[in-house]
Amino acid sequence: MKRRPLIAGNWKMHKTVAETLAYIEAFKPLVAGVEDRDIMLAPPFTALDAAQRALEGSPVALGAQNCHWEEEGAFTGEISARMLSDIGVSYVIIGHSERRHLFRETDEMIRKKIAAVLRHDLIPILCIGETLEEREAGKTLSVLERQLKEGLKDFSARDLKNLVVAYEPVWAIGTGKTATPEQAEEAHAFCRRILAEMFGADFAETVRILYGGSVKPENIVGLMARPDIDGALVGGASLKPDVFARIVCFGRMK
């Protein structure tokens, strides 16, 4: 089965509103007419509303980088899925390794966040990935299995029909060290087998599994050539519109 590619940019804690608007103005013409793949940008919370207005009518979807699992309440500093849905967000990145490691997010918190995202008909991008220490100890696959099983155990295939998974090996994030296409494919194929075990083979065949970790215009083609790599979650290289557009447009004749 051919899954529709998704190329997503995660800006992390970068860009003011003015910088976001300048980016979008430059980016939109570079990806105009790209219809055979999905494109998503995830600016910081403060720029989401302005980005939504600026992206109106373009093929670029809007994503958020995190959310809280409650609808509202006394959670100072948090943003709910309900608030994100209200301003036109479509995707929410959940369980990014920076959230897991720097902010101590657990698999249980991640599961609750996915439930909140689904309640509002938003698309969760569940991030998973091993640290260097775990890889060197031969634990990569068991870490991925635990993160998938714990993160998704409350849900049915129907609940998760739009689920996106992002495999982001922690040692490849922001380090310039990309997993080789072989390493990434091994992890992606394994994740698809676990999803098939949990929710059935038909479901697993439809789930898009993105690779993230030092994706650049120079390595996107090799990654996307692998059968189980369905797109990319791009950090640093999504911050410049021309560079990100080259990643988005991989494999197209110019």
Among residues 105, 130, 134, 168, which one is catalytic? 168
Known catalytic residue at 150: no
H/E segment holding residue 17: helix 17-31
How are the residues of the chain apportioned to helix, strand and coil, as percentages rounded to the nearest 5?
45, 15, 40
Non-local (6+) Cβ contacts of 149 within 8 A are: 194, 198
- Which entry of 96, 98, 185, 188 is annotated as an active-site residue? 96
Smallest distance, Å, CB 156 to ligand 13P? 27
Least distance (Å) between residue 92 CB and ligand 13P = 13
Is 51 a binder of ligand 13P (CB under 6 A)? no
Closest to ligand 13P by CB, 64 vs 198, is 64
Q: Which of 116, 163, 173, 209 binds ligand 13P (CB under 6 A)?
A: 173
Q: Work out whether 177 is an interface residue with ligand 13P (CB under 6 A).
A: no
Give the nearest distance from C-beta 8 to ligand 13P in angstroms.
Answer: 8
- If binding is defined by CB under 6 A, does position 174 make contact with ligand 13P? yes
Q: Which residues contact 58 (CB under 8 A, 6 or more apart)?
A: 28, 31, 32
Helix (H) or strand (E) holding 31: helix 17-31
Our finding on whether 147 is near ligand 13P (CB under 6 A) is no
Cα distance between residue 195 and residue 109, in whole Å: 20
Q: Which of 59, 79, 97 is nearest to 173 (CA)?
A: 97
Which residues in 90-109 contact ligand 13P (CB under 6 A)?
A: 96
Closest CA to 11 of 239, 244, 245: 239
205 is annotated as an active-site residue: no
Of the candidates 241, 253, 214, the one whose C-alpha atom is nearest the C-alpha of residue 55 is: 241
The CB-of-76 to ligand 13P minimum distance in angstroms stands at: 26
Tell me if 64 contacts ligand 13P by CB under 6 A.
Answer: no
Q: Between residue 192 and residue 251, which ones bind ligand 13P under the rule CB under 6 A?
A: 212-215, 233-237
What's the rounded Cα separation, in Å, for the pair 124 and 145? 18
Residues making contact with ligand 13P (CB under 6 A): 10, 96, 168, 173-174, 212-215, 233-237
Active-site residue list: 96, 168
